[in-house]
Amino acid sequence: MLRLEKLVKTYKTGDQALKAVDIDIPEGQVLALIGPSGAGKSTLIRCINRLVEPTSGKVYLGDVELTELSSGALRRERRRMGMIFQEYALVERLTVMENVLSGRLGYVGFWRSFLRRFPQSDVDEAFRLLDRVGLAHMADKRADELSGGQRQRVGICRALIQDPALLLVDEPTASLDPKTSRQIMRLICELCKERGLAAIINIHDVALAQMFVQRVIGLRFGAVEFDGPPEGLTPDVLTTIYGEEDWEATIEKVDDDDAMAAE
């Protein structure tokens, strides 16, 4: 469904963020991307929807090759890739509803969006999604009035209203407390299951990733160091990804509803 072939990103400063990464993700698979800060996780996700232009290599979404697309065709393909951001990235001075509807911008013309006259079906879908995440009553609030967890829920709605085939999720829990983090991760994974979406989730919290995903890829210095099921993350593997540390506490089996005692 999504295939990366020899994806390379070299920044102008000469830093090689990605070194010929090959990844193949089947339909409906939720994948966690782990690795130390600066390993290229964020760059990898952004190279897929070309918020960052890859230096070389190919990205296939279904049958479409993304790296060669013209800007118009790229916009059409971006509609199929919903993105969820670290720190939510809601437009703070717009209302919750406007933020959710901004996920439809790829589908409606300029004047419709400028006058905020979205098709009724979009508005209905926005309310349905907001209701699904328990925020329908907040629709007319400004985004900066919401708490962190609420904002990330709105961010999820914005990504889903695009009707994507793939979710690109960049550190969804980085600024949330442990309980909210779990709730958000659970919500993302549930929604992916309901809708049969594939997802790439960048995440720092290894234990949290192990709880929710079917497959983990470990990135180190822009290269894939580990690719396998979450059970395969042994202390040795974590040491190759992150470096020497005592990993026993991290990979201890955590029951779903305990507080994150190990953290």
Partner 1 sequence: MNDAVFDVETKLGQPWKKPPFVQRAWLRWALLLGLIAYLIAAYMTIDVNWSRVYEGLERGKKFVLAFANPDFTTRSSDIWEGMLESILMTVASSVVGIIISIPVALGAARNVAPLPIYLICRGIIAISRALQEIIVAILLVAIFGFGPLAGFLTLSFATIGFLSKLLAEDIESMDKVQAEAIKASGARWTQWINYGVQPQVMPRLIGLSIYRIDINFRESAILGLVGAGGIGATLNTAFDRYEYDTAAAILLIIIVIVMALEYLSGVIRARVQ
**C-beta closer to partner 1: residue 3 or 50:** 50
**C-beta closer to partner 1: residue 110 or 258:** 110
User: Of the ranges 72-80, 234-242, 244-252, 254-262, which one interacts with partner 1 (CB under 8 A)?
Assistant: 72-80
CB-hemisphere CA count at 13 Å for 221? 2
Q: Does residue 91 touch partner 1 according to CB under 8 A?
A: yes
Q: Which of 162, 173, 202, 250 binds partner 1 (CB under 8 A)?
A: 162
Smallest separation (angstroms) from partner 1 to the CB of 257: 32
Residues 47-66 that bind partner 1 (CB under 8 A): 49, 51
Smallest separation (angstroms) from partner 1 to the CB of 186: 23
Beta strands in 90-249, from DSSP E residues, in sequence order: 166-170, 198-202, 215-220, 223-228
Q: 128-136 — which CB contacts under 8 Å span 24+ positions? A: 129/100, 129/157, 129/160, 129/161, 130/96, 130/97, 130/100, 130/154, 130/157, 132/157, 132/191, 133/157, 133/187, 135/96
Q: Does residue 165 touch partner 1 according to CB under 8 A?
A: no
Q: Which residues pair with 201 in a beta bridge?
A: 32, 169
Q: Does residue 75 touch partner 1 according to CB under 8 A?
A: yes
**C-beta closer to partner 1: residue 135 or 207:** 135
